[in-house]
Amino acid sequence: MSGAAGERGLWKHWTFDEGAGASALESVSGIRDEIGYVLNQAEFTDPCPPAWRRGVAGSGLLFDGYSTSIAHRIHKESETKYRSALSIGVWIAPRTYEWGHAGKLAAIVNRYDRERKQGFLLGMFRHGSWSFQVGLEGGDWREIWSPDGCELPKQEWSYVNAVFNGDEGELKLYLNGNEIASLPVPRGSRLAEATGTELLIGKNNHGSKLAGVFDLHMFSGIMDELKIYSRALSRDEVAASYQAMLDSAHGGIRPQLQYDDIKLDRTPLLTDRHRPQYHVSPPAHWMNEPHAPIYFDGQYHLFYQHNPQGPFFHHIHWGHWVSKDLVHWRDLPVALAPEKDRLAPDGIWSGSASYDAEGLPVLFFTAGNDSASPNQSVALARSTYSQDRDPDLVRWIKHPEPLIVQKQGMGLFGDFRDPFVWKDEDGWYALVGSGIEGGGGAALAFASEDMLHWTYKGPFHQADIHKFPYLGPVWELPVLLPLGANKQGKNKHLLLVSPVGAGADVEVFYWIGELDKRNLSFYPDQEEAQLIDVGDFHFTGPSGMADPQTGRNIVFTIAQGDRTSELEYQSGWAHNAGLPLSVYLREDGRLGIEPIRELQSLRGQKRLSLRDMSLAEANHLLKDVQGDMLEIQLELEPEGASRLGIKVRRSPDGEEETLLFYDWTTSTLAADRTRTTLHPGEKCRGIQGGRLELDGENLKLHIYLDRSMVEAYANGLKSLTTRVYPSRQDALGLEIWGEGTALVKSMDIWEMRSIWE
């Protein structure tokens, strides 16, 4: 379509036919514009240009939603060309929608100043609505909006036209060649020039900032054939332009877009030296907790809190992975997204999965609706499996009304989220995270005979906030798992919660206890809660399932990234999941914690195997072992040592290193990150740890290194999860460390493979 540069009144034209590189030609002026993109210059991965995809004609430019944009220089002599009339035509395929913070548009193309009522702005708003806005001479600002039913669909091509005709006094919107809206303005109107303001593509001239780093109101999706005219196109010209594209390139039908052409692509991040490769993660951008694990039709499904717009916490959707072995995962399209409805227009927050009466999967989620009070309720989505037999469960349909709406006196009003639902022969049961008015956190209990109508049963378990202030005023993400019978024949359950709010220690706490099913209450064996993981705010966001295939209880968590917003912006990703854990009731009544055995399928070359050596002998052999993707099994006998452990991610001179150790004098498992990194922007510092009673056992560590992830499992009783971001690329060494004499009873090390190979 590059020959269109000779069209009458064509002022600007980007064909986006480059198909590669970091610049785009504006063909009328001949100016080649640089494309802003975060990975043009990358600190932690291989630099790469922005993504190009198939367009409606030739190629199109894929805007990532938070960093991709074009700033075009305008020569002074052309500034006044479009004052009496302006037309914009562009093909766009949105990948996702913005929330619409401060009422601002995610800009497609703009050169405006709203406060001074100058310039023009074409952009998208919540749930696919869109608008053309102009400033007129005399201080008038006019906006024309798409009507209901004319929203721009995600992952589909749409041809959008906006026309300002000052002489005739009208604004018009066209969608796919058809006029959809008209707005009168005074005849003889002229656009007020936004002098000194850049013409931006994909980025709002006056967008809001999040965390002082992230520009909101940016376009996410593919853009092609952007034309700006200094005259008003007629209805017939718009329709003819649309039909000409269909006829010339698509056989007369509307262009089709494949999901693979627009999905988030993890490829540019595979070489990021800090991004884990065998921990499951989104393709890119933001995640927080994984949740709603479920097994169905030979596959495990796991969902996660996700912002597809960028690596920042904002407009939350449900991302989706699927696996046959809980280790190798495939990325699937977003399962649930906020929509233009009264159920969850403002966010799809955490929840769980269960089965309906026919054994088909259902999702229970926290519906975010800021126009309601409270703005959180429990809602349901059903799989379309019974209609389309889709084994990946890609499509879900929301039940139109919330299932459970919090009422006054039902927990802490306004805090009501993260339903955990299970089913047995008598019906369905739910725990919802909340608190008690004037008290501490609580899990609230509900029961249903049909999955749709629920009865409140009161608090399932609650905290004594005066006795245990670290358990906080609110609990999130309650999880209940059956542990089976203990040696005395009593059936035990595991209750997990995540405290939040003033004074809360935001970790995963648990109790082992007994379930009173009749009254839906929980009675812990010990009043005080315990920690699974003794790292500091890295092992959080619990979810879990009783695996029907193996009978195991599997726990999933988020592994917090522990980085600044600046580094998350530069990297293009934030957070990943922890390794799946098998949790069980030990013979001694304590909770057993082990990584799932399926992780052994990732083992590559065995780098070392030794038995019964001194520290010096073992370290001599360790000099030849390096890596940032390793599995290590280590048993240390203290003999005369008071503290023993292993240094990982160590540079040859020890300038950077992370020490994992156990202190027998204080019964403490800890990670010393004092020398973890020299990078001035990274946050990982200090010593993290907590209590672990070994009761005379040797220290047995099962360690997983995966780029920035460090997970250590000690004696099957506790884990310690932490993050490391060494600045030196040679920080790959290992060294056993101790204060006093000790024996290395055994040590085995394997290289680990990526799950994305």
| Residue 293 placed within a domain | no
User: What whole-number distance in Å separates Cα of residue 722 and Cα of residue 89?
Assistant: 50
Domain end point (choices 469, 493, 528): 528
| Residue 645 placed within a domain | yes
Predicted local distance difference test score (pLDDT) of residue 2: 40
Q: Quick one: 26 and 171 in the same domain? A: yes
Instruction: Reduce the secondary structure of 392-406 to three states and give it as a string.
Output: CCCCEEECCCCCEEC
Domain end point (choices 510, 528, 546): 528
pLDDT, tens digit (0-9, with 9 covering 90-100), for 426-467: 999 999 999 999 999 999 999 999 999 999 999 999 999 999
Tokens representing 578 are 């922890």
Residue range 391-403: average pLDDT? Answer: 97
Predicted local distance difference test score (pLDDT) of residue 78: 60
Q: In 40-168, which ranges are E strands?
A: 52-54, 59-64, 69-72, 85-94, 106-113, 118-124, 130-136, 140-145, 158-165
- Is-contact 415 434, C-beta < 8 A? yes
Has residue 566 got a pLDDT over 80? Answer: yes
| Residue 643 placed within a domain | yes
Look at the alpha carbons of 167, 173, 176, 178 in this order and tell me if their dihedral is positive or negative: negative
Has residue 743 got a pLDDT over 80? Answer: yes
> Residues 6 or more apart from 737 whose CB is under 8 A from it?
615, 644, 645, 646, 647, 659, 661
Domain end point (choices 231, 262, 293): 262
Nearest one of 653, 512, 517, 475 to 588, comparing CA atoms: 512
Q: Quick one: 254 and 146 in the same domain? A: yes
Predicted local distance difference test score (pLDDT) of residue 3: 42
Has residue 670 got a pLDDT over 50? Answer: yes
Q: Quick one: 640 and 516 in the same domain? A: no
Has residue 722 got a pLDDT over 50? Answer: yes
| Residue 635 placed within a domain | yes
- Is-contact 26 12, C-beta < 8 A? yes
Residue range 205-223: average pLDDT? Answer: 97
| Residue 708 placed within a domain | yes
Q: Quick one: 235 and 89 in the same domain? A: yes
> Residues 6 or more apart from 502 whose CB is under 8 A from it?
472, 473
Indicate the pTM of the whole model: 0.97
Q: Quick one: 17 and 162 in the same domain? A: yes
Q: Quick one: 475 and 617 in the same domain? A: no
| Residue 371 placed within a domain | no
| Residue 463 placed within a domain | yes
Q: Quick one: 30 and 127 in the same domain? A: yes
User: What whole-number distance in Å separates Cα of residue 653 and Cα of residue 367?
Assistant: 53
Q: Structural domain of residue 523, as residue ranges? A: 431-528
Nearest one of 451, 607, 481, 497 to 553, comparing CA atoms: 481
Residue 203 gets which letter from DSSP? B
Q: Quick one: 523 and 641 in the same domain? A: no
| Residue 243 placed within a domain | yes
**Which alpha helices (DSSP H) does 556-687 contain, by range?**
565-571, 615-622
User: What whole-number distance in Å separates Cα of residue 126 and Cα of residue 101?
Assistant: 9
Nearest one of 291, 70, 320, 80 to 201, comparing CA atoms: 70
Q: Quick one: 505 and 654 in the same domain? A: no
Q: What is the CATH number of the domain that holds 65?
A: 2.60.120.200
Q: Quick one: 520 and 622 in the same domain? A: no
Q: What is the CATH number of the domain that holds 622?
A: 2.60.120.560
Has residue 517 got a pLDDT over 70? Answer: yes
Predicted local distance difference test score (pLDDT) of residue 757: 78
Average per-residue pLDDT for the chain? 96
Q: How confident is the model at residue 80 (pLDDT cuts 50, 70, 90)?
A: low
Q: Quick one: 621 and 747 in the same domain? A: yes
Output phi, psi for 244, to 5 deg: -65, -40
Has residue 5 got a pLDDT over 80? Answer: no
Q: Quick one: 514 and 620 in the same domain? A: no
Q: How many domains does the chain have?
A: 3
Nearest one of 277, 421, 307 to 363, comparing CA atoms: 421
CA dihedral 102, 107, 110, 112 (to 10 degrees): 0
